[in-house]
Amino acid sequence: MTEPYVRLEALDMAYPGHHAVKSLNLDIAAGEFIALMGPSGCGKSTTLRMIAGLDKPTGGRILIGGRDMTEVPAEERGTPMVWQSLALFPFLSVEDNVAFPLKMRGESPNARRRLANDWLDRVGLGGMGKRDISQLSGGQRQRVAIARALVTQPSILLLDEPLSALDAHLRVHLQTELARLHRELKITFIYVTHSQSEAFALADRVVVMADGIVQQAGPPRDVYRAPVNAFVAGFMGMNTRLEGTVTGRADGMIWLDCAEGRMAVPDTVPVAVGAVQSFVIGADRLRLLAEGMAAPVGQPQVSGKVVGMEFVGSTQTIFIESDTGRDFRLQRLDLGDDATLTPGTPVTLTWDPRHAWALPNT
């Protein structure tokens, strides 16, 4: 990477009784769209707030554009943020909301009006400048918040769960729009979200956080295909985790003796014969075998029973407990045969060993 635009150096945030961010190091390139993701309380929002100067770190440094910003007050950083709550000023018109940062800078009323309306046009709210915030829909308000953050032509935009409060349809719509804005503006976007789909759809690079620590950072595809630990694997939907004793390696596969039988996983980690190795399988890689059918040659076969089922539109998630007591999570297209899969139904699972992923030993 060339000289990073944003550099977080051993950034630390310790509240009394809660260590929110632990010595975080992260470089973000100019123009990069980066997504900080993780469950609530993982430290992603705190990190964003520290970049904006709204929270003062208890340790470490923040550099933006080569300048040490650690002690610079929020109002002088030029790091506008789009908030989940939007934080639009209810006592100002739409236009005055967008013009607010310009007014703070002392721009003339004419320049403010012109720039604000340019941006309102740009986010598809042309002609709505005189309206009250309360007269706008949720999606329109979100656009006002985005226009307000971008009106000063910043070189960085911070977004804190900006789409979480919107319904699914609008979310996808605005997601597309954010991607378009990023393409056109070519500035750095730092996007905090707990949603994997948002992060994957938008970001050049995702940073998975947990317990105030970066678990893994990389392009979405890499993180999704090659999680470095059980947490990231689980966060990416590879919730099924097995382990066994290594018996040997052959043809690019590691062979393991598991409670469920003999298993193979692609050989991607250094292991010694006799060591215990765990691996994960994506929920979308598991298959149910039809009754009486055997698994294809070379594929494992695990029997168990259905313990639960979740139905999400076109896909369904089936929770299965194996006879050995392990939890499997299987996701597949809705086949319309839910009726036969009531809890307690015995089932047999299989998967292609090439889709399993050995977790690096730490």
Partner 1 sequence: MTEASLPEISAASSPPGGRGTRRARAALPLLLGLPVALWQVAFFVLPLAFLVVVTFWKVRNFRLAPAFDLANWEKVLTSTPFQRALVYTAEVALVATVLSMLLAFPAAHAIALRLSARARGRWIAFLIIPVFSSYILKVYAWQVVLSPGGLVNTGLALLGLPAADLLGGTLSLNIGLLTLTLPVVTLILTFALMGMDHSLIEAARNLGASKVQVLTQVTLPAIKPGLGLAGVTAFLLSFGDYASPVFLTGSNPPTLAILIVDTVKSGSQWPRASVIGVSMLAILALAFVLVQALTQKRKTR
The residues that touch partner 1, with contacts defined as CB under 8 A, are 52-54, 73-76, 78-81, 83, 85, 87, 89-93, 100-101, 103-105, 130-132, 135, 148-149, 152
Shortest Å, Cβ 143 to partner 1: 16
Shortest Å, Cβ 131 to partner 1: 6
Shortest Å, Cβ 192 to partner 1: 14
Measured from the CB atom, the residue of 84 and 277 that comes closer to partner 1 is 84
Measured from the CB atom, the residue of 131 and 173 that comes closer to partner 1 is 131
Measured from the CB atom, the residue of 82 and 246 that comes closer to partner 1 is 82
Could you tell me the CA-to-CA distances from 315 to 309, 338, 339, 356 in Å, in that order?
A: 11, 11, 15, 21
> What is the torsional sign of CA 299, 302, 306, 312?
negative
Shortest Å, Cβ 100 to partner 1: 6
Shortest Å, Cβ 103 to partner 1: 7
Shortest Å, Cβ 94 to partner 1: 10
Shortest Å, Cβ 78 to partner 1: 8
Measured from the CB atom, the residue of 85 and 137 that comes closer to partner 1 is 85
Relative orientation angle of helices 138-150 and 168-185, to the nearest 10 degrees = 20
Measured from the CB atom, the residue of 101 and 300 that comes closer to partner 1 is 101
Measured from the CB atom, the residue of 15 and 89 that comes closer to partner 1 is 89
Chain length of the chain: 362
Measured from the CB atom, the residue of 77 and 205 that comes closer to partner 1 is 77
